Amino acid sequence: MAQNFHSNSQLPSDISTAISRTAKPSSEFYSIFSEEEVLGIIHALEFSREIPLKYSYKGRGAKIWDDFYLKYIIPKWYRTSSVEIDLLNNNFQYLNGNIQSGKKVNIIDVGAGNSYPIKKFIWRLNKLGKVNKYIALDISEELLNLSRNNFKKWFPLVDFISSTIDIENSCIPKILCQNQANLEIDDTAKIFLHLGVTIGNHQNRDRVLKNFRDSMGKNDFLVFTNETGSNSEWDGKIRGGCNYHVEGIYGWVKNKIGIKSEDCELVRKYDLKTDSIVANMKLHHHYIINFSYMGIDKNIEISEGEEITIWRHHKYEMPKLLEEIERCGLKLVRYNTDKYKSHIMVICKVASN
């Protein structure tokens, strides 16, 4: 049901509305997002001055991500390795060796994107006859379409299932592992993947880890990757996603929200409050962002000089990582880093207690 909002703050009477600029999200914005997602964006803007990164993968944002991945991450003749692919390869024997003898496994890829990182991993498991089904989950239907097209081209005989999900707000529905033959829940062991250093992009990592924990059985694994190191010691050099992906997101947000390019700038910095590297849109003028659609009526005021976070990433130091995992009801069973010790792959199970 639509909810009506009314601005709870008014411009002071001595300030002319002429000095305020109004941004109105485009019709495409409302076509991309559900009512619940629009309300989520409004809430995040009002209380956190943020447009959560997860929303930038929808609509044309899916192509922005896919283009970035294909250009800068996927292995090529001049770039023969990928951190994600290499770490999965290094942990293949452990994961395969801990699947019960003679049993198959369901691969549940949360934040599947274009599915490139899992291609070699699935190929090796499938060669051994171990793959029961591949389940691609993502907040973006557009990315799931990319995943489906890629996966069916690579593995036409492997059962593929996809569904939209926001792992920050919900657990993984058990019905996705339903056995179609007898409509009973499949108790096949599962490997949950959360790759692409995505865990470091979430607003609420604890909630994400708890949702994974509540989706898992005792024989299941959670495998995720992230960067390692101290966020506060960031050297200010703009690399990787903080550079190329952020540029695309910045243009996407301006266009969809309706803020003029000359009225803002892109600022990248360390944020002490979240202990993360962030990319923010800094406004040079007072703006009123007017959300008005299907019963939603809300003005968000952003003052001159204020910043809206559009991208964030949190690196892990090992003691803090262990603390988060244990706090969320998981236990670490294995981890290793890449050759540069810049990225880590973590494998968890449900804590026995």
pLDDT of residue 92: 97
- Give the pLDDT confidence of 33-54 residue by residue, as tens digits: 999 999 999 999 999 999 999 9
Question: Which pLDDT value is given to residue 352?
Answer: 85
Q: What is the pLDDT of residues 294-328, one digit of tens each?
A: 889 999 999 999 999 999 999 999 999 999 999 99
Helix axes 205-215, 318-327, angle to 10 degrees: 50
Are residues 200 and 316 in contact, defined by beta-carbon separation less than 8 angstroms?
Answer: yes
Range scoring the smallest mean pLDDT among 8-17, 158-167, 268-277: 8-17
What per-residue confidence (pLDDT) applies to 80?
80
Residue 145 CB neighbours (<10 A) = 14
**What is the model's pLDDT at position 267?**
97
**Percent of the chain residues past pLDDT 90, beyond the cut:** 83
pLDDT at 100 (0 to 100): 77
How many percent of the chain have pLDDT more than 70? 92
Can you give the pLDDT at residue 1?
42
Pairing of strands 330-337, 343-350: antiparallel
Please give the pLDDT value at position 13: 43
Distance from C-alpha of 247 to C-alpha of 242, rounded to nearest angstrom: 8
Residue ranges of E strands in the chain:
21-23, 105-110, 131-138, 160-164, 178-179, 184-185, 189-194, 221-227, 264-271, 276-283, 287-293, 296-302, 307-313, 330-337, 343-350
Q: Given this model, what pLDDT does residue 16 score? A: 42
User: In the prediction, which pLDDT does 128 show?
Assistant: 94
Q: Helix (H, G, I), strand (E, B), or coil: what is residue 177?
A: helix
Angle, helices 119-127/141-154, rounded to nearest 10 degrees: 40
The pTM of this model reads 0.91
Amino acid at 106: N
Quick: pLDDT tens for 53-83. 999 999 999 999 999 999 888 888 778 888 9
Average pLDDT for 117-132: 96
| Res 270 pLDDT > 90 | yes
pLDDT 10s digits, 332-345: 999 999 999 999 99
User: What does the pLDDT look like over 237-259, one tens digit per residue?
Assistant: 998 899 999 999 999 999 999 99
More reliable by pLDDT, 352 or 122: 122
CA R_g for the chain: 21
pLDDT grade, residue 123 (50/70/90)? very high
Query: What is each CA distance from 292 to 40, 113, 123, 170, 285, in whole angstroms?
Result: 14, 31, 48, 27, 21
Q: How many CB atoms lie within 10 A of CB 46?
A: 19
Q: Which residues pair with 154 in a beta bridge?
A: none
Q: Does residue 7 have a pLDDT over 70?
A: no
Predicted pLDDT of residue 8: 46
pLDDT at 182 over 50: yes
What own/partner pairs with CB < 8 Å and gap ≥ 24 does 23-28 have? 23/257, 23/258, 23/259, 23/287, 23/288, 23/289, 23/290, 24/258, 24/289, 24/290, 24/292, 25/256, 25/257, 25/258, 25/289, 25/291, 25/293, 26/255, 26/256, 26/258, 28/59, 28/256
**pLDDT on residue 294:** 81
Q: Where are the alpha helices (DSSP H) in the chain?
A: 27-32, 35-48, 61-72, 83-90, 92-97, 119-127, 141-154, 205-215, 240, 246-257, 318-327
Given a cut of 60, is residue 215 above it in pLDDT?
Answer: yes
The values of phi and psi at residue 268, to 5°, are -110, 135
